[in-house]
Amino acid sequence: MKFNLFKETIPPLIGIDISSSAIKMVELSEDGRGGYKLEGYSTAPLAKDAMVDGNVGDLEKVADAMKLAWKLLGSREKRAALALPASAVISKKVLMAAGLREEDMEAQVEAEANQYIPFSLDEVNIDFQILGAAPNNADEVEVLIAASRKEKIEDRVAAAEGAGLKVTVMDVESYATEAAYSLVASQLPNSGAEQTVMIVDIGASMMHINVLHDNNSIYTREQTFGGGQLTQEIQRRFGLSLEEAEIAKRKGGLPESYETEVLQPFIQLLSMEVARALQFFTNASHYNRIDHIVLAGGCAAIPAIDVAVQDRTQVHTLVANPFHSMAINTKLKQQQATTDAPALLIACGLAMRGLTI
């Protein structure tokens, strides 16, 4: 398939996030008034060895989970947008002469890529997008080049095909987060204009940081920390299987000691990790403050997590809800969608690729 990170007009599709703990799908449509409508979403759990460090570890398990998620979604759409983790993509901004012909531009992109990609060019897929005029020179344009090893793309495509789906877009997770942020921004004062916002996506195994200023991404970082740690502690303390611990965590029913001896320490740890990430950013950049922290990922569903993070960091904190200003299909439960929303940020950003709103 073509590695089309940046293709702009495309037919409707389903956004699919292949993460470490689950396959997550989101389907959007236009609401008829220039906004989005949530048609459906679904999640199917992945076994531990299905995805390994962002790579497909067990193709059959990933394909089976995709099949299940698609069935639960109840859609007829088979076209899909997938994404690679940012760590699997090398991207670089370069300047090129304005007004180059397509072929000349492609040749130049290859030449540039050759310089900074540590693999042979026939092992990689390359894509590029003109970002606009160069800041200080009207004769040049700024071009974003992205490259990834072919097998990383092919493995994901194979899993989707194994589930009977057709991949029409291959994006990057951090770009999908940025796209979905435009939905979350409506939750912020003045829609986030001129503000510096840190999106912290805490999933099962990773914490993804993405800082935006005036709605443009200025910093990304990943570190290992996630809800899996809490699940393991629940397993260990209460002698449960992974599945039991996962259910208990979300639905309750654990002994009283859970709240004070397991959950609270985890919340403190999480808040500290966010505070550290914040410190890291302010040390590394010339921005010396963050105006808002937006929590996403499954861990953002922990009750009052925003309060704990805000207390620790002294920065206004809220939980992401990409469905905040969307119309919602009446077959869905609004309350449940709001609870599930933070973990669906990437899938949501991918689903947006199929619409031109």
Ligand X SMILES: Nc1ncnc2c1ncn2[C@@H]1O[C@H](COP(=O)(O)OP(=O)(O)OP(=O)(O)O)[C@@H](O)[C@H]1O
Site residues (vs Mg ion, CB under 5 A)? 19, 203
| 355: nearest Cα among 160, 182, 211, 152 | 182
Q: Which of residues 125 and 231 has its CB atom nearest to ligand X in the complex?
A: 231
Nearest distance from C-beta of residue 302 to ligand X, angstroms? 4
CA end-to-end span of the chain: 26
Query: CA 339 from chain center: how many Å?
Result: 17
Does position 125 interact with ligand X (CB under 6 A)? The reply is: no
Q: 138: exposed, middle or buried (C-beta count within 10 Å: 0-12, 13-18, 19+)?
A: exposed
Q: Which one among 146, 204, 270, 308 touches ligand X, defined by CB under 6 A?
A: 204
Sign of the Cα torsion 96, 100, 104, 105 reads positive
Does position 249 interact with ligand X (CB under 6 A)? The reply is: yes
Tokens of 331: 């077959």
Q: How far apart (Å, rounded) are the C-alpha atoms in residues 186 and 106?
A: 38
Strands 206-213 and 316-319, sheet pairing: unpaired
Q: Which of residues 174 and 313 has its CB atom nearest to ligand X in the complex?
A: 174
249 makes contact, choosing from Mg ion, ligand X, none, with CB < 5 to 8 Å by partner type, with ligand X
Q: How is the chain split among helix, strand and coil, in percent rounded to 5?
A: 40, 30, 25
Tokens of 178: 């940025």
271 makes contact, choosing from Mg ion, ligand X, none, with CB < 5 to 8 Å by partner type, with none
Q: Which of residues 279-318 bind ligand X (CB under 6 A)?
A: 297-299, 301-302
Q: Which of residues 19 and 125 has its CB atom nearest to ligand X in the complex?
A: 19
Q: Which of residues 57-116 bind ligand X (CB under 6 A)?
A: none
In degrees rounded to 5, what are phi and psi of residue 49? -90, 5
3-state SS, residue 213: strand
Q: Which of residues 145 and 248 has its CB atom nearest to ligand X in the complex?
A: 248
Beta bridge partners of 251: none
Beta bridge partners of 82: 170
Does position 250 interact with ligand X (CB under 6 A)? The reply is: yes
Nearest distance from C-beta of residue 19 to Mg ion, angstroms? 4
Q: How far apart (Å, rounded) are the C-alpha atoms in residues 105 and 97?
A: 9
Tokens of 273: 């990790």
Nearest distance from C-beta of residue 333 to ligand X, angstroms? 15
Give the residue nearest to ligand X (CB): 298
Q: Which one among 15, 40, 227, 349 touches ligand X, defined by CB under 6 A?
A: 227
Nearest distance from C-beta of residue 21 to ligand X, angstroms? 3
322 makes contact, choosing from Mg ion, ligand X, none, with CB < 5 to 8 Å by partner type, with none
Amino acid type, 271: S
Nearest distance from C-beta of residue 218 to ligand X, angstroms? 21
Q: How far apart (Å, rounded) are the C-alpha atoms in residues 345 and 107?
A: 35
Rg for the chain, CA atoms, rounded: 21
Q: Tokens 């709240």, residue?
A: 259
Does position 210 interact with ligand X (CB under 6 A)? The reply is: no
The footprint of ligand X on this chain (CB under 6 A) covers a number of residues equal to 21
Q: Which of residues 192 and 203 has its CB atom nearest to Mg ion in the complex?
A: 203
Q: Which one among 5, 22, 337, 347 touches ligand X, defined by CB under 6 A?
A: 22
Nearest distance from C-beta of residue 349 to Mg ion, angstroms? 12
String marking each residue 327-356 x if it binds ligand X according to CB under 6 A: ----------------x-------------
3-state SS, residue 312: helix
Q: Which of residues 22 and 326 has its CB atom nearest to Mg ion in the complex?
A: 22
Q: Which of residues 174 and 195 has its CB atom nearest to Mg ion in the complex?
A: 174
Binding footprint of ligand X on the chain (CB under 6 A): 19-22, 203-206, 226-228, 231, 246, 249-250, 297-299, 301-302, 343
